[in-house]
Structure formats: C-alpha cells, structure tokens
A and B are shown apart, each in its own frame.
Chain A
Amino acid sequence: MMKHRVALLFSLGFACMLAAGWVGFPRTLYSSARQPVDFNHRIHKDKASQKCEDCHSITSEGVFTGTPALANCAACHAEPMGTSANEKVLVAAWVKPGREIPWRSYARQPMNVHFSHAVHVNLGKLSCDRCHGARGDSTTVALYREDRISGYSRHAVSMTMTDCEDCHRQRGVEAGCLGCHK
C-alpha cells in the first residue's frame, strides 16, 4: 500500500481533475435560461401544416427574417387555439399585451460575420435541416445555454468558422474573406 501511495494519490488527483474539467467546468461555465415560450415546432408542422419558411423567411431584399416577430404568432393565436399551458402563456403574457417576445438567439455570430441565408438556401440549395437539425420534429425548444465568459451560446460552437470552411471545402465553393466577413 505504501509503495503505491504516490501512484494512488497521483491517480486520484488526476482523476479528480479530469472529472472537474469534463463535468464540473462545463456546468459552471455555461449559464442556462429557458426561452420565454416553450415553442412546439412539431405541432405547427403537423397540425398547422407549416413549413420552415412560413415563419422563418427570406424577404425580396434577401434579408432573413430570423426568429419571427410577435405579429406572426398573433396572426393565429389572438385567442388560445388549443389546450396547452404554453399557449396560454403566449396569449396572456405576450400577444394580448402586444409585447415582442425576447427570444434568445442560439446562433448569434460575432459582429464581423456576414452569413447570408438567401445565398445558402436559394443558391446553395441547403435544406434548413442541414445546419439546424430536424428542428421541425422537436416538441420543445432547447434550453438556452450561454458561455459566461465569451457571451456566446453553447450551440454556436457547432457553427464556427471551421465548420463553415469544412462544408465549403467539401462542396468546392470558394468564398474568400469578403464572402463571409463584414
């Protein structure tokens, strides 16, 4: 026992730090918050027959409208249409008072990044699922987790410059710095 004391203590310290680094560190580094309304994409896709572009569209000027404004929701949900608690919250807390919902953006990029949905969707023919996953089948929205130090969301880690470069390289599409930066 004595002989292995050093090895044991060393391994113990090693293991503890591994655990702290891989489990404890992410837990403390990322803050979490819920979205103001727990939106159910699936119901809207199935029952309302909506497609992605019905709420997340590209204008004629080529600007992506992003997370929809309240008017989008209020168009149908002036009064609760179903029985869910979430919808009641939507109508009572946001639609009736006319307050814009402060959605937290998962994919916010640094200020010097120019990403054009118009180019990628219309010209690149990328489906929404390719980058955002099968969002349409989800019944809840993900917990929003934000890196306390950098200020970016945890989800943005899968949308970094190297991810863009990989896809561009795969498809043989050159962009140059000017293509993606502003």
Chain B
Amino acid sequence: MEGKRENDDIPQGGDTSRSLEDSRGSDTSRKDEGGSSDLSRRGFLGGTGAALVVAGAPKLGSSEPLSGGAAEQEVQAVPRTAIRVTVNGTEHRVDVEDRWTLNEFLRDQLELTGSKIGCNRGECGACTVLVDGEPMFSCSTLAVWADGRDIQTVEGLERDGAVSPLQQAFMDFNAPQCGFCTSGQLMTASALLVNNPNPTSDEVREGLVGNLCRCSNYNAIVEAVLATAGTSGSGGAQ
C-alpha cells in the first residue's frame, strides 16, 4: 500500500526502548483571569461536580468500627437486615446492607464471582441468576428482597464436580469467546430448557434475548443450547 498506513500502526523492528522521562512533568495549572462564577447545576454520572453539597447518609445509631486502616473516623452505619437465603443448595443466614444488590451479595459476600457485572443497569444480562428457578438480573434486585428465596448461580450448575450437559455443550460449541456473558447465558438457557426441553431456534433466541453478547457469538450460543435440548440431562437448573 502506498502512502501512510491506513490501519493502526505496527511496531517497526520491535522497538522496546525505554524513555525514562520525568512523568511528573509540566505544571498544567493555568492562571485564570476573572470571570463569572458560573457553577454548573447539572449532575453527571452519579456525582455532581458542582457546588451542591449533598448530605451524607442519615445517622442511624451507633457507627461501626473501621476494618483496617489507621484513621479513626467512624464510617456511618448503614441499615442492615437479617435474611435467610439458599444459594446453590446451601442456606445462608446473614446480615446484609439493605442497599446491596443481590449481585453484590453473591459476589462480594459469598465470593461467588461467576455472576458478572456488565452494566449494573439491567441492560445486558451478564448478571443473570435464577431466583426460584426464574432468570432475573441480580444487579436489579436487592439482597433483602431475596429473603426466603432459592438462588442458583453458574457455580451451582455442576453436580458432584461434573459440569452439566449444557456447560459441556457450551465448551464443545465454542459458546464462550471472551466468556464474560457466558454465566448469564448459561443461567437463562438452563431455565429455558427446564420449561421447554425441546425449543426451536426462535424460541431459544426469544428466551435468551435478555443476554447480550458483544463478541456477538450468538450463532454458537444458540447451537450449544439446541444441541443440549432433548438430551436426558437438564441444563443444570433445579
């Protein structure tokens, strides 16, 4: 090709020379002339960058001691509730912060990191888990609302150390590319196969429409689910 490369550039001859500039470089602060003190009124991305001072959480009684750290300011107490929830067959009786999503509870408290956060807004499906057998976005429901319910995550699809037929099919059909949507796809598909053991291709796509895949490996995921359908094993869903 003549002229400049049109695509991103490829290193010439493996240039790995280091240049040890002082990275605490130029001072970019600028001296401003006067001007109207026009503070922004708009909030952005969950935080206003402006002069609106938002009061912290209301004080609700005794504060908790810090975990680690030298400073002895006390973090304000946050409302908590005791819940009883079964996760992958194991019952947990725990205290949760009222504001924790089910996803945070599973990932941070139970260390079941198989369920992912893709958007935390109910727009992608990476966080899908089964609640009483039904697929739900774990980012879009609270842990306290799961009290008394039965949760299944991707970690719970295995039986006695063996993966479910659906997980095996996902492996056989290269259904995970980057793998980040995989847990969610598996959970929704597992529930689908319980309710509809022999779905058509259209039914699979309708059932899984709430699970995005940006690698866009949609064709392979559908093939994996169809291959599992009709087999004696379930997707692993209870």
* A, B bound: no
Interfacial residues, chain A to chain B (CB-CB below 8 A): none
